[in-house]
Structure 1
Amino acid sequence: MQHQKTWTTVGIAAAVVAVAAIGVPLVTGATGSDAVPAAATHTPAATAAAVPSVPSVGAATLAALPEARYSAVVAGLLPVDHTVGSAEVFHLRTDAPLFGDDRQHPVARFASRDFLAQPTTVVGLRREGAWELVLTPARQELPSRASGHAAAQTAAWLPAAALEQVSTPTEHVVISTAAQTVSIVDASGKVVQRFAAGIGTADTPTPTGVTGYLEQRYVDPAQGTGDHPIQLTSLHSSASDEPYGGSDGGLIGLHWNAAASGAVSHGCVRLSAEAVAAVDALPLGTLVTVE
């Protein structure tokens, strides 16, 4: 995100609750791998391997895990380096543990309430037995520790029993850095609306070839965006730890700016008032793909 001193001033309302052990029989399905699968489906793929059962995580263990929030860096998360075609949207019944590839040792937790004390939006990519592969708003690695490039999006495995499904968006956002446009696209692939956009410069580029989601939105005139809601995504800068300074984790947002065209930003996507209003009308959890 291109704006300073925003995230540290917002309180989090997240009660740490024990996640009950979920006993499930071993079922046939695809197992995890180092590469997060590009295909998004909630039908388990049939393989010879068994899906691991969900281990018990006690309240104390859960509370001690780092929260997977926009400013966190959690090495055990799975890097996402591709685009996603479809997903489902959930809220959390309670705080829940997040697991890496082995699905045996929790690496982080999802708080049931986000930094605005609203229900956390969870985007699920695939169901496997008692597990859901979900996108997270945290980083897996900082660019400064990854030879100048790090994954813009991360994922993790979460116990499906902690999820409560909500309405899944029927449209998604496509950002073209080559054309410098933002499009709202329906389920059939038809472009419903298209707007000019300002993207990152060569030194602070907008990450490409990846999909995130609309995580949250709010209004903060102090950031120079007027009364237009800032649209926060789960994506982060791949090239810089903090492109704009501050402590927002290099978060990528879509927001109003008078200069809403050209390669002009620190990685965020600058939009006109009309474009911001169009994105603001989309539900949280809407997929955001950058090409």
Structure 2
Amino acid sequence: MHSSEPRHSPARRGLWWGLGAVVALLAIAASAVLFWPRTAEVTAPAPSPRAPAETPLPTPEPTPTSTGFPVNTSIYDTSALPQVDVFAVIPALPVDADPSQPFAGFAARSKETAAPVWADPTGEPVAALPRDFEFDGTTVAVVEKQEHWLRVLLTGRQALPSAGNSAQLSGWVRTADVDLTPVDATVEVSLTARTIDIVRGEARERIATDFASGTADTPTPLGRSFVMMTRVVPEFGYTRGNPMIYLSVQSPTLDGFGGDPAAVTAFHYHDARSGAISNGCIRLDAEAIAKLSQLPQGTGVRILP
């Protein structure tokens, strides 16, 4: 089909000019887009280098504070003090105030000829613990351990039973004055259950399920004590040559025994060894005595009702 208008009519020419103008404008616009200088990208300024965070200095740990009583470095003349031994009666020394408490796991012995002993570490010494004595008792059980001081059990008595309290004696010594030895065992006696155990940590070795003990008039003393001396005493025929294990505690009712001014409690052999029949000692068979005799001096012993 043909248009009714002539090919070169003014109307047709106008149309072409209009189209050309549009194309030209589009081309110019495209060029503007293509060649218009781009705005430089604004880059955020690099952060200025930061000073490294200061590492805080570790807080110095405080110097350990001395626990317990303060140190005492004074020198004392122990020869002027009453000697702690099995025959001593020293009213200035206290009895064991905590007999149900555990032992500290150490035994102590004086480094020198004797170590001063205190009733109160803030005061003056009232006795002297010898390094050696013919009936031993110089290696003592520790029941409280501080940095500078040790509370120990001692042989001897505060008073005779007829005049006062004859229970287990105690006192304080300076840590610097003694040699300490670890003790891994304690002996536990139950008078009601009639049992004796050697205890090491959680392990218990039962060494007796029956034994003889004190009567109502001469009871076996209760509470804490320690092995004072282990010795064979041939003149005591009832022991049949078995050793006696002497303890640091003495009778609560007898001032003395067998002509001696002491009434020491002991584990020992006896043919009659069942029931409440003794003067306070604990009578055992030979096998139990052999096991007890292997324990070192200063081993703790606890006797329960």
Alignment TM-score, normalising by the size of structure 2: 0.72
Aligned counterpart in structure 2 of residue 159 of structure 1, from 174, 180, 183: 174
Contact 1:92 1:122 in 2 (8 A): no
Q: 2:146 aligns with which of 121, 128, 136?
A: 128
Query: Partner of 1:262 in structure 2?
Result: 275
Q: Residue by residue, what CA displacement relative to the aligned partner does 1:107-162 show, whole Å, maximum 9, x if unpaired?
A: 1100011225x69312222233421111101111221112xxx2421111111111
Cα distance in structure 2, aligned partners of 1:256 and 1:102: 41
Q: Which runs of 5+ in 1 are unaligned?
A: 1-26, 31-50
1:112 aligns with 2:131: yes
- 1:54–1:104 Cα contact (<8 Å) kept: no
Contact preservation (8 Å) 1:70, 1:248? no
Letter in 2 for 1:272: D
Q: Distance in 2 between matches of 1:119 and 1:239?
A: 21
Residues 211 and 79 (structure 1), Cα distance of their counterparts in 2 relative to 1, 3 Å cut: same
Instruction: Quote the residue 2:95 is aligned against.
Output: 79
SS at match of 1:106: coil
The partner residue of 1:98 within 113, 117, 136 is 117
**C-alpha RMSD of the superposition:** 2.1
Using the alignment, how far apart are the partners of 1:275 and 1:269 within structure 2? 11
In structure 1, the residue matched to 2:291 is 278
For 1:1-291, list aligned pairs within 5 A. 28-30=66-68, 51-54=69-72, 56-59=74-77, 62-81=78-97, 82-87=99-104, 88-94=106-112, 95-116=114-135, 120-146=138-164, 150-166=165-181, 168-188=182-202, 190-208=204-222, 210-224=223-237, 225-242=239-256, 244-291=257-304
* 3-state secondary structure, aligned to 1:231: strand
More helix by share: 2
Using the aligned pairs only, state the percent identity: 31
Q: CA deviation at 1:189?
A: 5.5
1:180/1:65 CA distance change after superposition, 3 Å: same
Q: Which has the larger radius of gyration?
A: 2
Give the 3-state SS of the residue equivalent to 2:123 in structure 1. Answer: coil
Letter in 1 for 2:285: S
TM-score, with structure 1 as normaliser: 0.75
Indicate if the aligned counterparts of 2:109 and 2:180 stay in contact, CA closer than 8 A: yes
Q: How many residues align?
A: 237
